């Protein structure tokens, strides 16, 4: 299994505090059945700045430690960049890092809203040859209230990644229900952990996929797992035609 979103690098954001904690996270990931994980530290979120070259160096360091400790996990470089108007310039200046050097680029929205310039920025990003992947849209207040905002972005080529812990109910019943509605409406393409530690923000990947299998069948599990593999291989992912979420169903009981 491949996990495309984690905060496993030590001491650079609100994830792992030190190498010892990174090792604990790595061992927990292996227990979950994860063989490859993309390290995606926060960037430009108002508190943390982690640039491309620094992340790559940190990933190389962690992989050496994992090899020495006989932990069978491969860490790949990535970045979780908070949306800002100069992302394209950041790509040009070699500051922005796509997921494992692929065409896929994580973009994080503020938790409360979707900036008005998002659609134009996403167009510009795609014109540069990258595909924006919106992280945890199920936890964005404006998207919850106005899901058409997400529909139009996906319709125009953006992808999305739902958090495993959202599906398992860690963030509450409403977010859990909304996460499944994103799957129902073909508005998400990846499930990833967004793991920060081994305590209150851990992986939950196995639990999430079990829930997906129970609700949709094993083929949907393969859909998400294969998309993660295709992303790492920098190939075109599988996606279905997006549908609008009906507001009357927004927080319906499944």
What pLDDT, in 10s, does the model give residues 164-207? 999 999 999 999 999 999 999 999 999 999 999 999 899 999 99
Q: Beta-carbon neighbour count of residue 230 at 10 Å?
A: 18
Q: Which fold, 2-249?
A: TIM Barrel (3.20.20)
- DSSP conformation letters of 70-86: T---EEEE--EEEP-TT
Are the C-beta atoms of residues 90 and 96 closer than 8 Å to each other?
A: yes
Q: pLDDT at position 237, please?
A: 98
**Weakly modelled stretches of the chain, pLDDT under 50:** 249-250, 252-254
Q: pLDDT at position 248, please?
A: 52
Are the C-beta atoms of residues 15 and 197 closer than 8 Å to each other?
A: yes
Name the 3-class secondary structure at 162: strand
Structure tokens at 233: 């291989």
Q: pLDDT at position 246, please?
A: 79
Q: pLDDT at position 67, please?
A: 98
Q: Domain extents for the chain?
A: 2-249
What pLDDT, in 10s, does the model give residues 30-52? 999 999 999 999 999 999 999 99
Total-model pTM: 0.95
């Amino acid at each position: 299994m491949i996990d495309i979103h984690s905060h496993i690098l030590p001491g650079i954001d609100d994830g792992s505090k030190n190498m010892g904690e990174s090792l604990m996270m790595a061992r927990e990931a292996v227990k979950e059945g994860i063989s490859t994980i993309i390290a995606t530290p926060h960037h430009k979120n108002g508190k943390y700045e982690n640039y491309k070259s620094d992340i790559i160096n940190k990933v190389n360091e962690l992989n050496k430690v994992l090899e020495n400790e006989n932990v069978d996990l491969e860490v790949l470089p990535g970045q979780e960049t908070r949306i800002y108007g100069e992302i394209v310039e950041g790509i040009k200046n070699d500051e922005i890092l796509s997921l494992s050097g692929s065409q896929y680029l994580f973009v994080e929205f503020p938790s409360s809203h979707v900036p008005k310039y998002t659609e134009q920025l996403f167009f510009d990003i795609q014109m540069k040859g990258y595909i924006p992947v919106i992280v945890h849209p199920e936890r964005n207040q404006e998207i919850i209230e106005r899901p058409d905002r997400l529909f139009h972005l996906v319709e125009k080529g953006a992808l999305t990644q739902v958090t495993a812990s959202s599906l398992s109910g860690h963030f509450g019943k409403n977010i859990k229900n909304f996460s499944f509605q994103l799957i129902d409406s073909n508005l998400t393409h990846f499930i990833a952990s967004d793991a920060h530690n081994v305590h209150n923000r851990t992986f939950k990947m196995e639990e999430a996929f079990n829930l997906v299998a129970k609700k949709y069948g094993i083929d949907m599990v393969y859909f998400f797992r294969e998309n993660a593999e295709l992303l790492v291989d920098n190939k075109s992912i599988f996606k279905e035609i997006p549908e609008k979420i009906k507001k009357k169903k927004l927080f319906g009981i499944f």
